[in-house]
Amino acid sequence: MSEQNIQPLFRLRVEYVKAGRLAYLGHLEVLHTIERIIRRASLPYAVTQGFSPHMRAGFSSALPVGTSSRSEWYDVFLTSLVPPAEALQRLQAASPEDLMATRCGYVDVRTPALTAQITRVLYRIELSFTDASAGCPDVSDALSEVIGLGRIPYARGKKNKVLDVDRMLVSHRVADGEGCIVLELDTRCDNEGALRPEILVAAIDRVLARRAVASDDDPIQSTGIQRFDRIARYRVERRAQLVEGEDGELIDPLCARS
Amino acid sequence: MRVPYEDRFHELEPLLARVEKPSRYIDHEWGTMSKQEADYRACLIYPDTYEVGLPNQGIAILYHILNQQEGISCERGYVPWVDMADEMRAAGVPLLSLEGAAPVASFDVVGFHVPHEMACTNYLEAMDLAGIPFYSADRSEDDPIIIAGGPSVYNPEPLAPFFDAILIGEGEEAIVEVCREHQRLRDAGASRDEILRGLAAIPGTYVPALYDIRFDGDCTPHGYAVPSEGENVPPVVYKRVVKDFGATDPVSQSVIPYAQLVHDRLSVEVLRGCARGCRFCQAGITYRPVRERSADQIVSAVTRGLAETGYDEVSLTSLSTTDHSCCEQILSRLNRRLEDTGISVSIPSQRLDSFGVNMALQVAGEKKGGLTFAPEAGSQRMRDVINKGVTEDDLDRAVRAAFEAGWRRCKLYFMIGLPGERDEDIVAIAELADHVLELAREVVPKGQRGGISISISVSVFIPKASTPFQWCAQTPDEEVKRRQQLLLKSVKNRAVRVHYHDAETSLLEAVLSRAGRDMAPVIEGAWRRGARFDAWTEQFSLERWEQAASDCGIDLRAIAQTPYDLDAIMPWEHVSPGVSRGFLQREYRRALAGETTADCTRASCAGCGICPTLHVDNVLMGERS
């Protein structure tokens, strides 16, 4: 322990993407891969003391299997300072294309964990309908109906949960995309939970299919990959993860202090 | 026309949403080596799921070697788990390679790894998904050449009709020769038959189609293979041994998986072969001679391998790592080098003496999980029969040292159904386990005794080809079950946990180890009845196999449980690891007499015949302790 107190540590914060086929990786698979990338990059990572020493690193919240992201984050503690440009270049040389590091910089070692700091998450969702029967206004109306419900009950494994749409959804936008309808969401996430986009998509599908959103026998299931009645295909991408400042301003995690 | 080589991932992708562990199928791992443009394409397939097959060192070595060849591209394939296989059949998606997501049937050569007998239905599962005919005789000019190789080819006959060529022994050089010769013949416009004849001329290559099975003379009911009339092929195909093991690259892994595997670590093969001479052990014969890498080579390979892969654990692999003459030096050098990195070293199993425990202590650090020992038999009499050169004293010292050093969990491996085994030998296993527990309680301080855990794992003896026990029958499965119950009853202490292998799986393993070419239609029949992934307990059903066998007029129990005559020609004698028949017979007789035979890396030559037959020698880096 004493050694650790004396040794200065540096906290490198790294942004990376989760794209293409690698969207199908599970959270633990991503964690282990990132650790291997850090070792391949030969960054001077710090190791926890004790029984089973491991790399000191912390990650932003888990992304469901099948969901891609333009902005995932991790912090890794280093025992010596590597200039950010060099660290980024070394990480990039050790990363597969679809988990590429995009930016990095140092934050204060006392900065709260990423999971505590990040309170706003932006998503972009593409919905495709094979029959082209549902257009932008239909989806928009369906979403309004879902928002009107306020709360969506769903099941996560064997647990019954409720998504508080009122509190977790900050704003939304529905627009026509190329061969799909694009849904943009600005959501909150905190200790109480986060808005899992697939639940909102499932609720929209049920409204479009004229089924009850809330159902005790057949609740909406929270999993990254689902099959729906009306929506033929959908793609969810995390666009940004941000820190909400005291005055409601949105701050990049690289610049956030508290 | 051959199926075109093209990326068909878009057909597979919609299925990913419906199966467990989609990361098995997505490829794009770090370190893949295949090429987009290539004149000659090979696909190496492990006959099980991705996470079982990926750590396999054999495939990793050959993948590396083939991709280093100019103009040759090598990709990997695995067998989709049952959920994905069913989805693929329903959607009409064929078996795809990983890197290029191209149909397996579009490759020039498809190579199957043969890890053990129980993989047999998975070759058919893979070929069926790929749209490749099962039997060599049914394949057309457009089908790929299907080759096989691996540790379990020393009785190739049950699988022989399914493969165009089987590579016997070490593949580092042979696979390149096979691919180059095929490429040359293909470019010269040779027919499939001409290609097979060309491959048969490469040393170590067994082309089953060029041999006939005869039943005359002194042989078993399964007959024996001889070159077909007019075919210029060797009557005995000897295994290949790589020319200079020390000159091969000790870092074979390049592909780093995303999925979390059971053995998720860097493996460095520190030595090859084991000459301890356990009489039931096939690997102990087929991996000879013994060849050690130098300590310098091992230490620098570990450093380089960790830097290239990013793993946080390295395993020093071999059949008996603690036998390496420089083991102590290697471990202490690695420990110094890996200090404060959080990276750990592991060795696969412990030698049953205090040296073994010292070596385990070197790599354990603060974290002491369990220690595993393999006395194999409970009584000294039985250990002498199997030539397990371990005494009760060795065991006592090893166990005492382990518990004194801080280990609390100990696992002991045994085998039952061994030749000449009596009930008292079974009871001796129980007594030994109880004795180990008592030793532990004696050594471990009072307050920590609650943490003591002794478990014993008991497998069933399977007579394997090219071992001194190859003539032996397997103990009948009903009798195996009785002995398992006897063992359970004999373990007095409830703190000793007993695990034993399924007698029915072991029965089939013995059948596949002993039968001849007559078994191939039974394998096909079992697959048609739904058998696949037979190595997975929850997938295995003996009933399917019994039905398939009875359709072919074959009695599985008769094959496993009838001994072979000591002078009979075995169904597998046309492939050889170089061991002499006289040595095996002598060892069998010594076994029955309870006489032991010394390890030739520590004492004089035991006369197995492998060195003179294959023109090879043991290569040691120092004196073995």
Interchain proximity B311–A36, CB inside 8 Å: yes
Determine the CATH number of domain B9-238. 3.40.50.280
Share of chain B above pLDDT 90, in %: 86
Q: Which residue of B has its CA nearest to A47?
A: B342
Q: What pLDDT is recorded for position B351?
A: 80
pLDDT bin (cut points 50, 70, 90) of residue B494 is confident
Which residue in the set A30, A54, A225 is minimally distant from B17, CB to CB? A225
Which residue in the set B18, B259, B342 is minimally distant from A55, CB to CB? B342
Q: Does A65 touch chain B (CB under 8 A)?
A: yes
Q: Which residue of B has its CA nearest to A53?
A: B342
- Say how many CB pairs under 8 Å bridge A and B: 81
| pLDDT: which is higher, A258 or B486 | B486
- SS3 at position B68: helix
Question: Is residue B13 packed enough to be buried (19+ CB in 10 Å), middle (13-18) or exposed (0-12)?
Answer: middle
Tokens 């398992």 belong to residue: B484
Q: What pLDDT is recorded for position A2?
A: 44
Distance of CA B421 to the CA centre of its chain: 26
Tokens of B350: 């412990």
Tokens of B324: 């390496």
| E-state strands within B484-571 | 496-500
Q: Does A191 touch chain B (CB under 8 A)?
A: no
**Chain segment B335-348, per-residue pLDDT in tens:** 999 988 889 899 88
Give yes or no for a contact between A229 and A255, defined as CB atoms under 8 angstroms apart.
Answer: no
Interchain proximity A29–B260, CB inside 8 Å: yes
Interchain proximity A47–B340, CB inside 8 Å: yes
Among A187-191, A223-227, B200-204, B583-587, which is the least confidently predicted range? A223-227
**Residue extents of the structural domains in chain B:** 9-238
Which residue in the set A36, A50, A53 is minimally distant from B256, CB to CB? A36
* Closest Cα in chain B, distance from residue A246 (Å): 39
Say if A2-110 and A120-251 have the same CATH topology.
yes
Q: Does A50 touch chain B (CB under 8 A)?
A: yes
Tokens 């290559």 belong to residue: B205
Give yes or no for a contact between B523 and B121, defined as CB atoms under 8 angstroms apart.
Answer: yes
Among A128-137, B264-273, B434-443, which is the least confidently predicted range? A128-137
Which residues of chain A does B51 touch, with a Cβ-Cβ cutoff of 8 Å?
none
Interchain proximity B367–A66, CB inside 8 Å: no
Q: Is the pLDDT of residue A258 over 70?
A: no
What is the DSSP annotation of B163-203?
-SEEE-B-HHHHHHHHHHHHHHHHHTT--HHHHHHHHHTST
ipTM over 0.85: yes
* Class of domain A2-110 as given by CATH: alpha beta
Share of chain B above pLDDT 70, in %: 100
Q: What pLDDT is recorded for position A224?
A: 63
* Class of domain A120-251 as given by CATH: alpha beta
Question: What is the pLDDT averaged over residues B364-393?
Answer: 88
**Residue extents of the structural domains in chain A:** 2-110, 120-251
Which residue in the set B18, B28, B264 is minimally distant from A96, CB to CB? B28
**Chain segment A202-235, per-residue pLDDT in tens:** 999 999 998 888 888 888 888 766 778 889 889 9
* Closest Cα in chain B, distance from residue A5 (Å): 15
Tokens 């094979």 belong to residue: A130
Euclidean distance between CA atoms B198 and B192, whole angstroms: 10
Q: What pLDDT is recorded for position B155?
A: 98
- Which residues of B lie closer than 8 Å to A, measured between beta carbons? 9, 13, 16-18, 22-23, 26-30, 256, 258-260, 264, 306-312, 340-342, 366-367
Write down the pTM of the prediction.
0.93
Give yes or no for a contact between B470 and B510, defined as CB atoms under 8 angstroms apart.
Answer: no
